[in-house]
Amino acid sequence: MIRFIVRRLIAMVGVVLVLSLLLFFWLRSLPGGPVSAILGERATASRRAALEAALGLDQPVYVQYLKFLERAAQGNFGVSTQVLPGTDALDIFWMRLPATLELSFFALVLATSLGIPLGYFAARRRGSVLDNTSIVMSLIGVAVPVFFTAFMLKYFFAVQWNLLPVSGRQDPGLDATRITGFFVLDGIMTREWDAAGNALLHLVLPSLALATIPFAVIFRITRASVLDVLDEDYVRTAEAKGLTARTIRGRHVLRNAMLPVTTIIGLQVGGLLAGAVLTETVFAFGGIGQALYEAFKDKDYAVLQVLIMAAAVIYVLVNLLVDISYAIIDPRVRTR
Amino acid sequence: MTDQPGTDSPAPPPRRQSYGDRRKQRLDELAAASVDETPGVSLLVSAWRRLRRNPVFLLGAGITTTFVVLAVISPWLAPWDPAANPLIDKVRPQSNPVPGPEAGHPLGADNRGRDLLSRLLIGSQQTLLVGVMATLFGLAGGVALGTLAGALGGWVDSVVMRIVDVMLSIPSLLLAFSIAALFARPNQWTLIVAIATIQVPIFARMLRGSMLAQRVSDHVLAARALGVKPGAIVFRHMLPNALGPVIVQTTLVLAVAIIDAAALSFLGLGNPDDRQPEWGQMLGNSQQFINSYPHLAIYPAACIIVVALGFTLMGESLREALDPKSRR
């Protein structure tokens, strides 16, 4: 097991290294070059010259790359020029991360807690009304652009019927104490129940919008996987042994069917990050998704490179965790 | 962008997991489907027999054909020039920013007094152009890389696939973002290049798997035994046979490309010149009026949804028809 994890970690280091190489060349190809990327386009000539010398732009490319790696390893990606001028780009990432994690967490909980049971029952009643309706819904769910779902939810539930807040993470009037940056968790920890409840209400619409695509995917994979498992010999064997339907469903069908579902849930994280850019922009949620949009729109390259690198590393890390959890569920995976 | 949700196959539970990717595996599985040939009837013929009677395929093909035909004949169909503003006199920024329907303008106009129906009709052209061009470029890039890796094997394969895996490891919308950031001034080519780039690794991975499966197949062995030149084996014997599943994937990718283009347009990465309408751009521009005039968003969104659904239905049923597992 430990060897398995070590092997995966080594593979991950490779991926991150190649990523950093891509990021390095990306930064060099930006309009205006790396100096503008770090200082912004309106920097004075003397500051440019100073930075050029400091960055060693006169040196060979591989030396420059190694220096870039060194700075990246120290978390020094430069200073934000537009999103929050003067703030360290890495700090912006840490400030905005809790909002996105909170939103993604609720979206993923929604998607799994609806997708798995629905997929399971659709598979058991294959061809039924429930099955067919769910398939059609999931196909449509995938075809609807995420930001349009967000728009419509916002239009009906917040603007027309006034049931839920229009935007933000919490009403600004609330004097909530901040501990972790996760507003719901903060409210619970400080026993400020109104703050926690208010943050939860703000989460409903964005997480619903963000959950649509993961829901559709998890539903379809669960359904397909349960159908596959129901055909397996060991299910027939279990039936022949006279086990109760309950035991067969729980121990034999569901448990085995969950293997591909675990992987697909992990893979949704990439989609969640992308969806967060759109959802957070519509609901002005203030997470890394919105920061990414702002950084792109205002050409804040320091923030942009931190966020792109961080998103890719998070994605790779989550997949590593999925691999490890997979190896725990299914011992066969460990011996490659 | 998102992980191609439309393309999840009802695959068996993976037995072994290579470096964190079911996405890879899925592409490989699809690729492997190409070598399975039923003796007697060719794969394509038997697939076509099943498709002809499949209502899902017919619906998808119907939607897709209608969309393409509409896009081609829209200049003759549209009652107004999409850039002209016949209703500009009715636009009152304070009281009535978006003129409603009236005679000659069944859907009303946008905030600049331009006929909405004409813009929707003409908009299908740009949407089709962006989707098709992006997918063609993505396909070309992916086929080139995949052929290289699959035909040569060895270290070339390792290097190419390592790069492809890293590209797959970046969430696709972020990749599109990074590509688009390289353009000083965005236009519709920004969109096309960005979307094509995120498709390259998908096609490359699939075609490589397909090519590897072809390498060990009997007809390639036979060709080699007959002394056919390696180049001819790759291009005449392996590539044509390996392309099948990739072509099927193309329909599915097209649907995702259209949705992705809408998302990127919404974020301001698309063509800023709105005299040339495009559905994603119309949807993006409608957001400032969304609370009072949601129809401005609903019409283009409905068009995008229907077209994406059409391509998805067609692609899914095509894949099902070509998938040996569903033939039982």
Cβ–Cβ of B266/A147 closer than 8 Å? yes
Report which of A307, A292, A315 is spatially closest to residue A15, judged by C-alpha positions: A315
Report which of A307, A298, A251, A330 is spatially closest to residue A1, judged by C-alpha positions: A330
Task: Give alpha helix (H) positions in B153-273.
Answer: 154-169, 172-181, 188-215, 218-225, 230-232, 239-266
> Choosing among A10, A126, A148, which should be mutated to test the B contact, i.e. which has the most B CBs within 10 A?
A148
Considering only CB atoms, B173 lies closest to which of A264, A274, A282, namely A274
Considering only CB atoms, A228 lies closest to which of B13, B182, B294, namely B13
Report which of B243, B259, B249 is spatially closest to residue B316, judged by C-alpha positions: B249
Q: How far apart are CA A206 and CA A285, in angstroms?
A: 8
The neighbour count for residue A46, using CB atoms within 10 Å, is: 8
Inside any domain, residue B85: no
Structural domains in chain B (count): 1
| B81 interfaces chain A, CB cutoff of 8 Å | no
Q: How far apart are CA A127 and CA A121, in angstroms?
A: 11
Burial (CB < 10 A; 0-12, 13-18, 19+), residue B106, is: exposed
Burial (CB < 10 A; 0-12, 13-18, 19+), residue A10, is: exposed
First to last CA, chain B: 34
Largest CA distance in chain A: 83
- C-beta of residue B202 within 8 angstroms of C-beta of residue B4: yes
First to last CA, chain A: 12
Q: How far apart are CA A39 and CA A47, in angstroms?
A: 8
- C-beta of residue A280 within 8 angstroms of C-beta of residue A287: yes
Considering only CB atoms, A143 lies closest to which of B169, B182, B308, namely B308
What's the pTM? 0.78
Mean pLDDT to the nearest integer, B143-152: 86
3-state secondary structure of B109: strand
Instruction: Specify which of A41-50, A226-235, B238-247, B303-312 reaches the highest per-range mean pLDDT.
Output: B303-312
- C-beta of residue B217 within 8 angstroms of C-beta of residue B37: no
Instruction: Specify which of A11-25, B129-143, B271-285, B307-321 reaches the highest per-range mean pLDDT.
Output: B129-143
Cβ–Cβ of A145/B266 closer than 8 Å? yes
CA-CA-CA-CA torsion sign (A255, A261, A265, A270)? positive
- Taking only the tens place, the pLDDT of each residue in B74-125 is 788 777 777 777 666 666 666 666 676 776 677 777 777 677 788 888 888 8
Report pLDDT for B7.
42
Report pLDDT for B11.
47
Report pLDDT for A37.
63
Considering only CB atoms, A227 lies closest to which of B10, B17, B184, namely B10
Residue B53 pLDDT > 60: yes
Inside any domain, residue B313: yes
- Taking only the tens place, the pLDDT of each residue in B217-228 is 888 888 888 888
Q: How far apart are CA A118 and CA A216, in angstroms?
A: 10
Complex confidence, ipTM: 0.76
Share of chain B above pLDDT 70, in %: 79
Cα B166 to chain centroid distance, Å, stands at 21
- Residues A41, A47, A53, A58, Cα dihedral to 10°: 30
3-state secondary structure of A84: coil
Give residues 247 to 306 of A whose Cβ lies within 8 Å of B: 256-257, 259-260, 263-264, 266-268, 270-271, 273-275, 277-278, 281-282, 292-293, 296-297, 299, 301, 304
| A18 interfaces chain B, CB cutoff of 8 Å | yes
Q: Work out the minimum CA distance from B159 to partner chain A, whole angstroms.
A: 11
Question: Where are the extended beta strands (E) located within A41-92?
Answer: none
- Taking only the tens place, the pLDDT of each residue in B55-68 is 888 888 889 888 88
Report pLDDT for B327.
43
- Taking only the tens place, the pLDDT of each residue in B2-43 is 444 444 444 444 444 444 556 677 677 766 665 555 455 666
Write the DSSP string, B148-169. Answer: HHHHH-HHHHHHHHHHHHHHHH
The structure tokens listed for B33 are 């489907």
Pick the CATH number of A89-330 from 3.90.1150.10, 3.90.180.10, 1.10.3720.10, 3.40.50.2300: 1.10.3720.10
Query: Which regions in chain A score pLDDT beneath 70?
Result: 31-43, 54-58, 176, 329-336
Domain residue ranges of chain A, discontinuous segments joined by +: 2-73, 89-330
The torsion angles phi and psi of B105, rounded to 5 degrees, stand at: -135, 75
Give the chain B residue whose CA is nearest to the CA of A212. Answer: B5
Considering only CB atoms, A316 lies closest to which of B22, B169, B262, namely B169
- Which residues in chain B are closer than 8 Å to A294, comparing Cβ atoms? none
Across-strand partners of B102? Answer: B105
> Choosing among A142, A278, A320, which should be mutated to test the B contact, i.e. which has the most B CBs within 10 A?
A142
| B6 interfaces chain A, CB cutoff of 8 Å | yes
Q: Which domain does B309 fall in, by range?
A: 115-326
Give the chain B residue whose CA is nearest to the CA of A273. Answer: B171
Report pLDDT for B139.
92
Inside any domain, residue B185: yes
Inside any domain, residue B70: no
Size (chain B), residues: 328
Residue B257, domain CATH: 1.10.3720.10
